[in-house]
Every structure is written in structure tokens, then in C-alpha cells.
Structure 1
Amino acid sequence: MKFRLALLLILIVSIAPAPRSWAAGDRNALVIGNAKYPDAEAPLKEPINDAKDIAAELKRDGFDVETGENMTGDAMRRALERLYARVKPGSVALIFFSGFGVQSARQSYLIPVDAQIWTEPDVRRDGFSLETILGEINSRGAGVKIALIDASRRNPFERRFRSFSAGLAPVIAPNGTLVMYSAALSSVVSDTGGAHSLFVSELLKEIRAPDLMAEETLNRTRVGVTRASRSEQVPWISSSLAEDFSFIPGARPPASTQIAVANPPPRPDPVATPRNDPPPPAVVNIPPPPPPVKVEVPPAVVTAPPVKGEGSTTVANLADDPTIKSLTSKLIDNPDDASALYRRGQVYASKGAYLLAVNDFTESIRLNPKDVEAYNNRCWARTVIGDLQSALKDCNEALRLRPNFVDALDSRGLVNLKSGQTKNAIADFDAALKINPRLTSSLYGRGLAKQRNGSISEGELDISNAKAMDPNIVKEFAGYGVR
């Protein structure tokens, strides 16, 4: 009897499913490091080194890797097509991207170095949707799809259009996908200034650990980044993997997952055990759970004080925003950090806290009276809350400091539109569109102004063209109080 039980256990273990072993050619990766963006004040220091080291690690792990540095839109498109062509049914496809990413219409876009982004529709024109990339890979039959995205940086494009959302958006990915962002959704982090980003440093450390499944590798990376940043940077992970996969070939899941049936308990001895006693419980050998990870959380930072007219609920909700917490922490250390004030004002405005935004832009201007961007943003924020006279002064000052500043012309057009000065609004929107014919907000605003001025058909044409370029433009203007 004992022999038959032992034989049964051997058979069970032998037929238990083992993790699939992908042969050479079944692991394909595209690794991109974009650092030299002409619109940025200086090249990013981390993406090139990060891409090189990630590519080297993936090659050691059996991936067929193509690496690209400072890729233009055409170069990224061709590289992606080559990746799609290499995908075989049931294979593994991985993309790593380090550079600038922008979210638009609830999707995340990877930005090539030659992108010309002045309005939100330009993001969708020049950027590469992560959802589209994963969908294309999936359509080729890839069994495992992995995206590692280190693009949660403050980018140079967001200040050019008002309805931006910082950081990256959640991805709706097909089954069998593992996605990791270097930071939480809708949050940004700064370059460390070192050879590698914190995210890649921790990822390289964990990816080399033996006998880890990919999900565990990324979870440990997330914990490492969270600890090292004192919870200021918390990566985001989404997984729908349906099978075990490890970055290191040959790694196996824990033994407890390989045995389908535990050893049954021995039958009780009728002599040694009273008849009415229940048999001893079966002993199932389950490995103990890992100890809880203690994440150090920094003391709560002081948020901006409530402002008259701004609900305390709004302020309380913003207190937990990771970007605002990080910027507020910087301002506690250095109250005269004009860049942090300007950035926090942008975030406040993007979340509808316009009075808080006006306060930060005002402080930024106090520290730098020639901050034309802050004047323009304060003009827009004041316009939204109806402080139109002060808004007009801000826009005029921005245009005095920088004549033909397209964003300020667009903002002043909105001021005049809300003030009922339709002819002035049309003139401002006309001037902005001469500089940038794809400026959707000016096109839509001009359409409204023309209709109010009696040119119904011309206004309808502008409005129709603007809606075709950006279907969200009507909702955006409604948020400004303009319908």
C-alpha cells in the first residue's frame, strides 16, 4: 500500500504543469532610451544608460533585443514594426521605454525626440499609444506581453496646453500582459542626476534574483523603489498574466505550486487510537508567507493653507496627491523655489483648485517678475474663476514680455470671450491661429465668438473643425464656464 501511494505521488508530481520554457527566438524585446529632446532645457541624464543596461540584462536572459537611442518618430515606428514582425504565436514580447511620456484622453503616449507638441491633439499625432502597441503585439499572438515604462517625468510639453494631466494613465491591456510604470498614475518624478534612474537600479537588482516569477520580480522592484524614495515614488503595476513567466530562463515557481495533491494522512492504528477519536488532520506542506514589508513613510507634509472660496474638501483631497505632496515638501525646505511654486500651481489648476493655483503663480511671479509662463497661467486661472479684469492685466503683461506669445493670445481670447468682447476675442484667436493653425482651443473659441458676433455659418465651421481635431474640446470649454 505504501508503495502504491509513493508511486501515485511520483506520477502526480511528474504530470504537474511546469512553467513554460521559451526557446531562442521566442523572447523578443525592443528597448528605447530617449534623452535628447530639443524642447527640453537639457538632455535627460538617465535614459541612455538605463536602456543599455536593460538591453544587456535581457540579452543575458535569452531575449532577442533591439536597442534604440534618441529615436525620432519614424525610427520608433520602424522599430515597432520590426518587433511586431518577430512575434510568434505563444512567444514573449517586451518593450522598455525611458524618456518622456504624456497622457491624453486617458491613454499613455511614448514621445519620440522630434515630436512637435503644442496642443493635446499633437500628443496623439506624434506620440505612440502604449495601448496600441500592446494591442498590436497581442494581435500577432504573443502569449506574454510586458511593458516597462520609465516615463513619469515632468515633460516640456505639458505647459503648452491647459487640460494636461501629469504623469501616465492606466492602460487597458489584453490578457497575458504585465505592465509597470516607474511611478504612480498621474504623478511625476525628477531625474536623480545619476547614471541610472532609481526605478531601473532597483529593477536590475531584482531581475537577477534566481527563481522569481516576473510578477514577483516587479513587486520586489516596487517595494525597493518605495523604500529608497521614502514613499515619494511608488511604481504602478498591472498584471493579467495567465501563465508563469520568469525573466531568467529555467526558473521554477515555488514547489508548493507544483504538487497538486498533498500526501494523505496515515490511517489510524485501531489499537493505539480510541475508536471514537477523529483521525489526525492532514499535514499540507505550505511554505510560510513572506514577512510583511515595512515601508518607511515620511512625516506628513504641510499642504497649502485653505483659500477663501476654495472648499476645505478640495484642499483635503489634494493633500494626498503625490505630486503636490512632493512639491510642498520641496517648498518647506525652500520657500523661494519658484519652479516648484509654478509646477504646483499647474497641478492645482489641472485639478480645478484655481484659487490655490493663482496663489502659487502669484508667488512665482513675486520671485521672478519676468516669468511670462506664470503670468499666462495666472491669466487663464483667473479667467476660469471669473476675475476677468485681473486676468486681462496678466495676459497683457505676458504679451508685453513676449510679443506674439501664442498661449497668451489664446488665453486673452478666452478672457475677451467671457467678457462679451467678441471682436477682440476673434482678433486674439486669429493671431494665435496664424502662429499655430492647429491650436484647437483658439479654433473653437473663435467659432463661439463668431457665432455670438452674428457670423453663424463661419462659427459653425470653426467649431466643427475644432471638434474633429479634439472631441473633448466642448467639455474643456464647459469647464471654463463657456458654452
Structure 2
Amino acid sequence: MNLRVAGLAVLMLTTLPAMAPAAATETGARVALVIGNAKYPDSETPLTEPVNDARDVADELKHDGFDVETGENLTGEDMRLALKRLYSRIRPGSVVLIFFSGYGIQSGRQSYLIPVNAQIWTEADVRRDGFSLETILGEINNRGAGVKIALVDASRRNPFERRFRSFSAGLAPVIAPSGTLVMYSAALSSVVSDASTGHSLFVNELLKEIRVPDLTAEETLNRTRVGVTRASRAEQVPWISSSLAEDFYFIPGQHGTPGIAAAPPSLPPRPETASPPGAAPPVAPPPAIPAPVASGPPTPAAVASEPPAPEPSPGPATTSPASATPRPQDHGKSALALADDPTIKSLTSRIAARSDDANAFYRRGQVYASKGAYALAIKDFDATIRLNPKDVEAYNNRCWTRTVIGDLRSARRDCDEALRLRPDFVDALDSRGLLNLKRGANKDAIADFDAALRINPRLTSSLYGRGLARQRSGAVAEGNLDIANAKAMDPDIVKEFAGYGVR
């Protein structure tokens, strides 16, 4: 069960086939679909950035030789038809680019683009009304595009998540076809606030770099990543994954040769935003050189060149409670360090104005937990449950947080209550599986993870946790298979858990 804050998301996708620069400039060789969705009825206020960003990206792509179709505030049917028209324009070797700005939701370890008329109340509604990024990239690949590049600016908080899933903010890693370059505007499963300036920081930096000639697409995106990291003072670090085998240039130079462009050095995080106790140290942005790509199944075609900063996610842990528990003297420091977080500031203001706002307490608890401030998170979940004793997600979140810090007895009561209120709650099954794994009850852990996987076979944390439990029970071969499959679905699952001492 991934503990995440509810997220607005803006998704940008770009797909470009690998070919020589000359071939990429042929008439019809570059096609693009640019969508900006801002007016969602479920949002308290319309998004300020998607339409403006979409228009600017469309203008730049036209300048770069793309045949662009632009859509604003598209419904599900509008998006379906727009994608159908895009697919029909693809020819073998085409450069295909999709830009989507709006809300995006992670569900079942996949990322979904959300149309403006989506009716989302359960996780099943996401799959019904949303458009899977993996499915889109797969269809583009099937139509013959040589290189697929997905640029995803999808890490804003959305108004839907609280309804159906506790910990799925941000975006999931993409299992994409070979010849794909994927970029997210922030680390996996992390969120950033809407800038309210009319344009996103990510798109501003992207457009700067796209206009530089003689840069490969990978160089362009790496420079964008560094620019966003510098401009946000390391609070927003984009994530890149690449399986490109050939170079593609947005703007080839006069001689059609790649230029050597040195990226500015990475900035360390500011001292006041350092990771809280119990979390892994901050990960510095990687060099502007894409990581090598592993070949052959079952590993995904794309390998991340920038691992996401660890965030709470349920999974097996071998850490002792003492080593997992944040030191009490650091809790005040964590509150002070997080006080300037825009989401926490907003939620704190809401709570000050209305002390009975259970949803604000719940969401702030999610943010605290996602940043490793576990004592603060538990305090907010306590307030949520006091205001609403039947809030199953709050019980589940508090169970998971208590499990992380080693308070297993209290965590068990919370998990059991969450499952009493909702017997098939997959997140609570996953949380209790983690709890049982930490207390050495491997048989019970396997039973909980089995139950969770029957409901959601793609729940990587349960698959990885079951693998560890099986290994410890003596079923080494079965455990190894579970772990291998979990790592194939999410190449960063081990790194994510390592931040919590999970080995």
C-alpha cells in the first residue's frame, strides 16, 4: 500500500521514432497530439496551467516540423477520437508525440490520463474513464512508430484519489516498448503543487531546451531535468527512463551532427528540506547521460535514469522497530522543515479555519507520511478518526505508518478495524501483510498478500512482500519468482523499499 498525498496530475507524452535527422524532417514524418484539460467539475478551481502549456508546446512543435492536432478540455469521447485520429496518421518510422496536460491518476501501478467528464468514485472507474499511458504507447508502437517519447507532467494533486485509494498519488513507472523515452516532471509517486502562474515550471524548462539545436532528445530532456531541479532548488526532480537505440533531434544543427551540451551541475537539497529521520538520504539528480538499457524479458524495456526519492510504500521490511522509528526530538524539526511545503501550508490554513475538516487532516497526514514525518502523520490520522470513526482509509494509513515505525500492536488493531469496515480493502490487506512480515509471521503475511493479489494482481508491493515471506518460509524458488516479477513490473521497487531498511 503506497502512502501518498492526493495528487493533481498533468500528463505529457511524446513519442518519436528513431531515425536519421534527415528522415525525421520528411513531410508527414512528425505527428503530434497536444491536449490541455483544465476544467474538471470535481476540482475546487480550474487548473491554471494545462491549456496555456498545451498551446505553447503546440506552437513549438509546429515550428519544429510536427503536424500537430490540439485539443482543449476534452471529454472521454473527444480523447478517444483524438487518439484514434493520431493512430491513423502514424506510418512506419513516423515521429509521434503526445502531450497531455490535466489530471492523471496512478492505479494498479499504471498511470491514467483523465478526461474532463470522468466520473471517478472507485478505482474501477479510473480504468473505465481514464486512458492508460502504457496502452497508448503500446498502440503507437504497434502502428509502426520507431521511437516513442513520453513526457509526463503529471504530478499534481487530484480531487479523485481520496474516494477510492489511500496511497496512489503521483505517477507509476511505465513498462514501455523498446525505443521509448519517458520523462515525468517529478519523481515517481511524488506530487507538486499547481504553480498558479499560468505555466508550469516543467514546460518552461522543456521549451527552453527544445529550442537548442544539435541536442539529442535524451540530451534535451536531461537538460530539462537539471533546469527544473535547479529552479525548484531540488524540491522537484524529474524522472527519466530511456530505451532509445538511435538518436533523435528536435532541431538538428546546420550540419546535422549532435552538439555536445554540458548540463549545469546538480544542486543539493536545501538543509531545511533534508529527508526526515528513517528515510533514505536525498538522491542527487543523475548525470545527463541516460542509463544503459537492460535487454530481454521480463524486465521492462525502459530503465530509469533518475530513481525516485523514496516515499512510504508498504512492503516487506527487515528493519528492527528501533531503527525504523523517527527520533522524538526530530519531530518538531520535521514540522518546521515542512511548514513551507505549499500543500501543508494550504491544508494547515484550512484546518485553522475549520477544526472539524476531517478531509484536511487526512490529506495533511498523507503528505507528512510521504515525507517521512511519521509522528505528525499519525497525529493527523488520529484527528481524522476522532472526527470520523468509520474512516477506513485513515485506519489503514495509520496502520501502515505505525507498522513502518515498529508500533506493531497498535498497527494490528488499525488494520483489523479497516478490514472489519471493508473486508476486501486491498490496501489494508497489503498493510497487514507488511505488519505480519515484520513480526515474523510469514504464513500470515503470505495469506494477506495472496488476498491482496487476488484483488489486484499488479500490486507490486504485495508481490514483492510475498516473495520475501516465501523465501523466509523456505519456498525459495517461489519467492525468487515473485521478487523477479515485482522488479520487472517496477524496476525501482527495491530502491523504494531500501529507503525504509527493506532488504
Is it true that 1:208 corresponds to 2:211 in the alignment?
yes
In structure 2, the residue matched to 1:299 is 271
Give the Å deviation of 1:136. 0.4
Task: Tell me if the contact between 2:393 and 2:418 (Cα under 8 Å) persists in the aligned partners.
Answer: no
Which of these residues, 159, 176, 181, is aligned with residue 179 of structure 2? 176
**Cα pair 1:87 1:137 within 8 Å, conserved:** yes
- What one-letter code is carried by the residue in structure 2 that aligns with 1:164? F
Deviation at 1:19, TM superposition (A): 5.6
**Residue number in structure 2 paired with 1:148:** 151
Q: Is the 8 A contact 1:166 1:186 kept in 2?
A: yes
Equivalent runs, 1:300-379 vs 2, <5 Å: 300-301=272-273, 311-313=322-324, 315=326, 327=338, 329-330=340-341, 336-337=348-349, 338=351, 342-347=362-367, 357-362=377-382, 377-379=393-395
Show CA shifts across 1:181-231 (max 9, x none).
111111111111012000011111111112222111111111111000000
Letter in 2 for 1:293: P
Q: Which residue is 2:124 aligned to?
A: 121
The verdict on how the C-alpha distance between 1:417 and 1:344 changes in structure 2, with shifts beyond 3 A counting, is closer
Partner of residue 97 from structure 2, selected from 76, 94, 99: 94
- Greater relative contact order (Cα 8 A, min sep 6): structure 1 or 2? 2
Instruction: Name the CA distance, whole Å, in 2 between partners of 1:311 and 1:162.
Output: 29
Using the alignment, how far apart are the partners of 1:21 and 1:331 within structure 2?
42
Q: 1:79 aligns with which of 78, 82, 100?
A: 82
- Give the 3 Å change call, closer, same or farther, for CA 328–104 of structure 1 in structure 2: farther
Give, in whole Å, the separation in 2 of the partners of 1:46 and 1:141. Answer: 32
Q: Is the 8 A contact 2:94 2:144 kept in 1?
A: yes
Using the alignment, how far apart are the partners of 1:244 and 1:325 within structure 2?
Answer: 46
Secondary structure in structure 2 of the residue aligned to 1:28: strand
CA distance in 2: counterparts of 1:239 and 1:373, whole angstroms: 46
User: Is 1:165 matched up with 2:137?
Assistant: no
User: How do residues 186-205 of structure 1 correspond to structure 2 at under 5 angstroms?
Assistant: 186-205=189-208
Equivalent residue, structure 1, for 2:493 = none
Unmatched segments (≥5 aa) in structure 2: 1-19, 279-319, 352-358, 401-407, 430-450, 466-503
* Counterpart residue type for residue 187 of structure 2: A
- Tell me which residue corresponds to 2:15: none
Structure 2 counterpart SS, 1:290: coil
Residue 379 of structure 1 deviates from its aligned partner by: 4.0
Cross-structure match for 2:110: 107
Residue 290 in structure 1 maps to residue 262 in structure 2 = yes
Contact residue 46 and residue 193 of structure 1 kept, 8 A = yes
Residue 76 of structure 1 aligns to a residue in which SS?
Answer: helix
Match of 2:288 in 1: none
Equivalent pair of 2:223/2:263 in contact (CA under 8 Å): no
1:36 equivalent in alignment to 2:39:
yes
- Determine the C-alpha separation between the residues in 2 that align with 1:251 and 1:165: 46
What residue in structure 1 maps to residue 67 of structure 2?
64
Deviations 1:16-44 (A, max 9, x none): x8764431211010111111111111110
Question: 1:380/1:417 Cα in 2 relative to 1: closer, same or farther (>3 Å)?
Answer: closer
Shift of residue 376, structure 1, vs aligned partner: 5.9
Q: CA deviation at 1:55?
A: 0.6
Contact between 2:153 and 2:185, CA under 8 Å: does it hold in 1? yes
Q: Deviations over 1:443-479 (max 9, x none)?
A: x99xxxxxxxxxxxxxxxxxxx998874469998xx9
Sort the Cα spacing of 1:172 and 1:84 in 2 relative to 1 into closer, same or farther, 3 A.
same
SS of 1:56's partner is helix
Pick closer, same or farther for the CA change 1:351–1:299 going to 2, 3 Å: closer
Tell me by how many angstroms 1:66 deviates. 0.9
RMSD: 4.3
1:318-467 correspondence to structure 2 within 5 Å: 327=338, 329-330=340-341, 336-337=348-349, 338=351, 342-347=362-367, 357-362=377-382, 377-381=393-397, 415=417, 418=420, 441=425
Counterpart residue type for residue 217 of structure 2? A
Query: How far has the Cα of 1:155 moved from its partner?
Result: 0.9
Identity percentage of aligned residues: 61
CA distance 1:55–1:302, shift in 2 (3 Å): closer
Q: Which moved more, 1:246-255 or 1:233-242?
A: 246-255
- SS state at 1:226 partner: helix
**Matched residue type, 2:160:** F
Cα offset, 1:171, TM superposition? 0.9
Instruction: Tell which structure's C-alpha radius of gyration is larger.
Output: 1
Question: What letter is aligned with 2:200?
Answer: S
Letter in 1 for 2:65: G
